[in-house]
Amino acid sequence: MSRTAAKASEPAVFRAAPPPFGLALLAGAAGGALVGLLAQVPPLAAAAMGAAAAAIAVGIRHASAHRLVATERGVAVKGGGAPGLEAPWQELRLGFGQARWPNQPARPPQRYAILADARGRSFAFADLFGPGTPEPVPGLDGRLVPVVDLRDAPLLLALVVERTGAWHVLPPELQAPPLSEPAPEVRPEDPQAPRPRAGSTPRVGLLGVLAKLGGALAKALKTANIGWAVASFAAYGFLFTWRFAVALLLQLFVHEYGHVHAMRRTGMRVRGMYFIPFLGAVAVTEDAFTSRRQQAYVALNGPVWGSAFALVPAALFLLTRDPEYARVASWWALLNLFNLLPILPLDGGRILQALAYSFSSTLGVALTVLGLAGAVALAVRFGYGLVWLVALLGMAELLSESQARAGGRALRLLPEPARLGPDQYRFLRAVAGPPLGSPSEEHYLRYLARVEKASRAAPLSAGEMVGWGTAYAGLALLLLGAVHFLTLAAGGAGPAQLLR
């Protein structure tokens, strides 16, 4: 069986929306700081360990709660400490209702959907809007069941409608397949766009080259958020020096524009480039990657551009023997080496994801968790506060990607995915969640479009895995050697102090 066929048969797991982590993280951080004071552990490291422990505890509790598992044969509800619904698709029953809110008689009731098997065991779910939890509702067997908050409630409803043939849920005008959308316009930087034949490009002089470079620079500056860049410059300049701030922002700009260039070249829409004081910068796209090759290409382009830019001060050092140039080059090389650590959401973590998920999703999750655990161990051992922040961001992104991955598996289980479009999903969301036209509707449709693209992401072939893995390891080794050489040339100034 091919990897694509295996992915199509993977079960889709629908979990309840994760509880708010904010209060848990604050409580964990406060408890960790208190324990750190008693055990004479640095307060920042102790607070970070406490927050991480709280996040893990909440995550384990959430993972053991009610969840619905859908396969090609049927559905089963697991977790929660009691036997749940279990039925093949042809025996599944679907209904709808409205749940009241406890102690809030004036609040509009919450719409929900409910599934039941032949024995009457039931599972009620909804896309809850607003704070609180509605009252339990009666199942088909008369027992009260909780209304589980599922962000992917429309996807589960779509799966039930197609697998059970319950098209009557949709109004008549939405039961017909949506019209096919026109083919997307090919962007000039799309690799699939037609290229001029060799020798047909007119020659340009020096002025033409400068004009092209100026246009590229103007486009890059337009992509960046100038306000956040000024805030970052002020922060770094206040803590260090204005020279250091300029050097750091230049490297961050070139590194992130490498990602932006790769996104545009592969046809992804770029929202912008944002500088974040004390955390660096990030290039944000409005799309999801359509293949693991695209994911690896976009992730590796940032360190490649940044490393190439670090050659400028390195060359100036070789020409002038001024250690200041070696110091700048060593900082820049270190920043790119740090980004290649196999930790989500760093570039190295995304490359590792592209490689591991191409083999299997189980390996992808395992290596991502292993990378985050390694980050925590690194932070504890050396006291790197920045690594703690990266690990916490990686944990949050892992939870988000887990939900998106479940949505992608649900889409692959649809017998006729082309029969459902944005209008159908808007209606299915409204019958068990926020009403039509709610402010969150557009955001959900964008999320659904990203999930749909990610669900069709083609894995890397064996040869591509070897090639991208070799490129990743080779660049990391080159940067490691450059940091060592340039640090010695700069008089032994340790660039690792930046992480503390």
Query: Taking the CA atoms of the chain, what radius of gyration do you get in angstroms?
Result: 26
C-alpha 207/C-alpha 213 separation (Å) is 10
Beta bridge partners of 276: 280
Report which of 493, 500, 44 is spatially closest to residue 278, judged by C-alpha positions.
Answer: 500
Asked if pLDDT for residue 211 goes beyond 60, the answer is no
Phi/psi at 473 (5° precision): -65, -40
Asked if pLDDT for residue 209 goes beyond 50, the answer is no
Asked if pLDDT for residue 302 goes beyond 70, the answer is yes
Asked if pLDDT for residue 276 goes beyond 90, the answer is no
Q: Which residue has the higher pLDDT, 131 or 460?
A: 460
3-state secondary structure of 149: strand
**Are 420 and 158 contacting, i.e. CB atoms less than 8 angstroms apart?**
yes
- Please report, for residues 272, 274, 394, 436, 441, the alpha-carbon distance to residue 215 in angstroms, rounded to integers and kept in the order given: 17, 20, 35, 43, 37
pLDDT, average across residues 83-100: 89
Tell me which amino acid residue 118 is.
A
pLDDT value of residue 92: 93
DSSP-based helix, strand, coil % in the chain, nearest 5: 60, 10, 30
C-alpha 308/C-alpha 294 separation (Å) is 21
Asked if pLDDT for residue 206 goes beyond 50, the answer is no
pLDDT tens column, 157-200: 999 999 999 999 999 988 877 655 444 443 444 444 334 343 33
3-state secondary structure of 226: helix
Beta bridge partners of 124: 114, 147
pLDDT value of residue 205: 44
User: DSSP character for 174?
Assistant: G
Q: Which residue has the higher pLDDT, 208 or 260?
A: 260
Q: Which residues contact 272 (CB under 8 A, 6 or more apart)?
A: 223, 224, 225, 283, 284
Asked if pLDDT for residue 407 goes beyond 80, the answer is no
Query: Which among 273-287, 304-318, 440-454 has the top mean pLDDT?
Result: 304-318
Q: Which residues contact 362 (CB under 8 A, 6 or more apart)?
A: none
User: DSSP character for 179?
Assistant: P
pLDDT value of residue 242: 75
pLDDT, average across residues 388-395: 68
Q: Which residue has the higher pLDDT, 59 or 224?
A: 59
Report which of 354, 330, 350 is spatially closest to residue 342, judged by C-alpha positions.
Answer: 350
pLDDT value of residue 467: 92
Residue given tokens 């002025």 in the structure block: 207
Q: Which residue has the higher pLDDT, 424 or 231?
A: 424
pLDDT, average across residues 293-317: 92
C-alpha 332/C-alpha 336 separation (Å) is 7
Reported as a pLDDT band with limits 50, 70 and 90, residue 89 is: very high
- Of the chain, the percentage scoring pLDDT greater than 70 comes to 72
C-alpha 259/C-alpha 277 separation (Å) is 19
Asked if pLDDT for residue 428 goes beyond 80, the answer is yes
144-145 and 110-116 as β-strands: parallel, antiparallel, unpaired?
unpaired
pLDDT value of residue 21: 59
